[in-house]
Structure formats: structure tokens, C-alpha cells
Amino acid sequence: PAFSFLHVNAMKLGNPYDVYSELEASITGSAHRFPAVQAKNKLEVFFAAQTGKLKAGATPKPLVIFVDELDCLMTPNQTVLHDLFDWPVRHRGLAIIGVSNTIDLPELLTTRAQSRLQHNRIPFRAYDREKIEKIVFSRVNECDGVFDSDAIRMNARKVASKSSDIRQALQICCRAAERRQRIITDLIDSGKSSEGKLSVAIEDINRAYAELTESPIVKVLQRASPIEALILISIGSLLRKTTYEVVTLDSVVSQMKFIHNHTHNNTRYIPPNFSECLDICERLRIFGLVDMKVLPGDRVYILQLRVPDGEIARYLAHHDPAKRFLPVEFTLP
């Protein structure tokens, strides 16, 4: 049967409560965004009206709402998730489908929220070598002749043995292609264009993989302490929300508290003091991860990442805050 479909990516919301405004605007088609409380009330009225139509014998289209990054909607009292799970229970013709990076999300919910959850859990297994090969082949299919088949197979084998992260496999392809392009350009400039291999080979894949996994910066990121990781994740998540390339230390401290409160709902946040934050940022500067400057006279500290936020996201992915607030967002050009 026909149905209406809405998609919401919770990662792109400013805060969890914005989901009410996002849904209300999408459902009604309104250009005006209402504050969260008003939007929630309007949604309640809309869903109740749909249920009333069904009881009266009318057949309005069922509504399916797909919520990606569902765990980003966690709040201390879990009100947002409770509402999402409660609406389909009270109102007919509504279905909620959620995708979460946190496998045990249902177990992390309060008893109140769990009571409204009527879920079928579908775990997604990690990609094996054959699946990685198939996906990468399909993504580079339009680049006919650019990649050797053996190079793609080597890429899949390396990634499957470590992370099984398809995004890393695609990133390796991208870096390998850039390396091969540089080699070809150098050969052309030196008048030796006939001597070089034109397609991406296993050698290019091996070098690209090493760059992504064995560089000093990568090792520093992989060994970052929880507080160092939290600062880097906070900087990266703030930069993704703005067109600026720098953030203030004050805004980073606020973001650290926000991220912690939405990642560790049952633990009290004890923020590092200003001096401790400065010490940590100075250490990150020495490691080559950030630049730090102070505005003359204002004592306002400005921070800037010296590595792409995508690199930070990838190598801090084992930290829960990174999964929710700084996801790896990579697509092959």
C-alpha cells in the first residue's frame, strides 16, 4: 500500500529537541520552524487527527519516519526518544524506524522509554572481504580503467582484516588514485609519460593504506586520552556546524559538556578547569593536531585543527562521543 515517508538524520540537528521542529516542518510543509515545544504540540494534534480519520473510516496514507543516528537523540531524561516510541503506540498509521550506532541502545533506555518500545532489532554485521570488494567495485565502476582489479582486491583484503569499514576502503582508493595521478603528472613533466603505469596498482593501495594507518599523527590520535579525544571531537563537531575555520576555547569547553551529557547520561560531568584545558591544548599543539593562538588584549584563545576532521573522526571512532557527534562522513568524489 502507498505510504508517506520522512527521513531525519539526527546527527545534523543542533540538539536532540530540534527533531520536533524538523518533523513538524516536514509533515506540514511549513517554511516556518516552530520552537521545539510548539512543534511537539502541533505534532500531537496532527497524529491525533490522523488517528481520528482512521477511526471514522477514512484511509489517509500511513506515515513512515526513518530516523538515522537515533542515539544522537539521547537526553538526560530521554524525553525525545520516549515521544518517538510513544507516538506509534497511541496513534495508528504511524511507524518509526531508527538506525543506531549503539548496538545496546534499547538496554540503555530508562524503564519508561523501554515500555513504549515495540522493536524488532536487526543487527548489521561487519562487511567481509567479498562484500567490501563488491561495494568498492560498484563505486569505481564509472572510473573505467583507473583501478587494477588486483588493487581493489588488495584494498578489500587489508580493510577486512582490520576495521571492515567501507568508508576507509573508499578513502584508501581516493588516496591511491591521488598518488598515481601525481606520479603520472611528474612523468609527463619530465617527458617520460610512456614509462609509467596509468592505472592504480597494488603499490598505490599499499602506500595509501600506510599513510592512513602508520603516520605519526595517526598514532597520536589512536593513543589519545579520553579528555584529549573529547577536546578534539568537540572542536571537530563545532567546525562542522560553521563556515569558520577556527573556534574559541570557551565554545569548545561548552561543547565538551554538551557532548558528555548526551553520551554519559548517568555520570556527573566534572569539567577540566581553564588551566587544564590550556595544558591539554598545548600538548595537542605540540603533537601537531591543533593550532592555538590568543587574541591580544582579550585573552580569547582561538583553536584550529591541523588535520582534517574526517581523520579525527576515523581514528577516534572507538570513543563513543565520536560515533555520535563526529561521524566519518566520506564519499568518493
pLDDT score recorded for residue 332? 34
- Tell me, what's the pLDDT at 120? 74
* Cα(50)–Cα(94) distance, integer angstroms: 9
Q: What angle in degrees, to the nearest 10, is found between the helix axes of 226-239 and 274-286?
A: 80
* Sign, CA torsion 154/159/161/165: negative
| CA nearest to 135, candidates 98, 170, 97 | 170
Q: What is 250-291 written as a DSSP string?
A: HHHHHHHHHHHHTT-TTS------HHHHHHHHHHHHHTTSEE
Q: Which amino acid is at 111?
A: T
Position 195 scores a pLDDT of 62
Residue 331: what pLDDT? Answer: 35
Q: What pLDDT was estimated at residue 23? A: 93
Residue 38 identity (one-letter amino acid):
Q
The angle at the Cα of 97, spanning 91 to 99, to the nearest 5 degrees, equals 150
Helix axes 79-90, 36-55, angle to 10 degrees: 10
Write out the three cell numbers for 30.
511549513
- Within 13 Å of residue 301, how many CA atoms lie on the same side as its CB? 18
C-alpha distances in Å from residue 273, one per residue of 166, 262, 270? 39, 20, 9
Taking the C-alpha atoms of residue 247 and residue 238, their distance in angstroms, rounded to an integer, is 7
All 3 cell numbers of residue 38?
510548539
Q: Rounded to whole angstroms, how far apart are CA atoms 94 and 310?
A: 36
Are the beta carbons of 196 and 187 closer than 8 angstroms?
A: yes
Q: Are 102 and 322 in contact (CB under 8 A)?
A: no
Instruction: For the chain, list the domains and their CATH numbers.
Output: 4-115 (3.40.50.300), 129-214 (1.10.8), 221-325 (1.10.10.10)
Taking CB atoms within 8 Å and a gap of at least 24, the contacts of 117-123 are 117/85, 118/85, 118/88, 118/89
pTM to 2 decimal places: 0.51
Q: What is the pLDDT along the chain (333 residues), one digit of tens a residue?
A: 688 899 998 877 777 888 999 999 998 888 888 888 999 999 999 888 888 877 777 777 888 999 988 877 877 678 899 999 899 888 878 889 988 866 677 877 788 888 887 767 777 777 899 999 999 999 887 777 899 999 999 999 999 987 777 877 888 998 899 899 989 888 888 877 666 678 999 999 999 998 877 777 877 888 888 889 999 999 988 888 776 788 899 889 888 888 887 776 555 556 677 788 888 999 898 888 898 988 766 678 899 888 878 778 878 887 878 877 887 653 333
Strands, sheet with 300-305, edge to edge from the N-terminal-most edge strand: 247-248, 300-305, 290-295
